[in-house]
C-alpha cells in the first residue's frame, strides 16, 4: 500500500488530533484537578498550530516531511500531558 502524500498525511494528523484531544472542554473543567503542565495553554497552542496548518493546506501548501514530523511530535507530547492530567481516559 503506498504512503499518503505529505499533504494528505498532514490532513490526517490534523483530523486525528482534533478528534482525540479535548479542545472543546470548558476552561473550568480543563483547569480542575491534577496539573502537571498547563493543559489549557498547551491545548490553546496546539489549536493555533492546527488552525495555521489547516489554512496553509487550504491554500494549497505542501508540508515538508520535517514539518509533518514536528507537528506529530508536538501533538503526541501535548496528548501525554493532557492524559496525565486526567482529561483523556
**What confidence tens digit (pLDDT) does each residue in 24-65 have?**
888 777 677 667 778 888 999 999 999 999 999 999 999 999
Closest CA to 46 of 66, 16, 89: 16
* Mean pLDDT score of the chain: 91
Residue 48 vs residues 1, 2, 33, 60: alpha-carbon distances, Å: 32, 30, 25, 19
pLDDT attached to residue 35? 74
Instruction: Count other Cβ atoms within 10 Å, centred on residue 78.
Output: 20
- Mean pLDDT over residues 65-76, rounded? 97
C-alpha cell at 87: 482529561
pLDDT attached to residue 25? 82
pLDDT attached to residue 40? 87
pTM to 2 decimal places: 0.89
**CB 7, CB 63: distance < 8 Å:** yes
pLDDT attached to residue 51? 98
Amino acid at each position: 500500500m503506498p504512503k499518503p502524500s505529505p499533504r494528505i498525511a498532514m490532513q490526517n494528523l490534523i483530523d486525528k488530533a482534533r478528534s482525540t484531544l479535548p479542545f472543546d472542554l470548558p476552561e473550568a473543567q480543563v483547569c480542575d484537578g491534577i496539573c502537571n503542565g498547563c493543559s489549557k495553554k498547551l491545548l490553546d497552542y496546539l489549536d493555533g498550530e492546527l488552525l495555521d496548518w489547516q489554512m496553509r493546506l487550504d491554500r494549497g501548501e505542501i508540508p515538508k516531511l520535517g514539518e509533518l514530523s514536528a507537528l506529530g511530535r508536538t501533538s503526541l507530547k501535548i496528548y501525554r500531558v493532557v492524559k496525565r492530567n486526567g482529561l483523556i481516559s
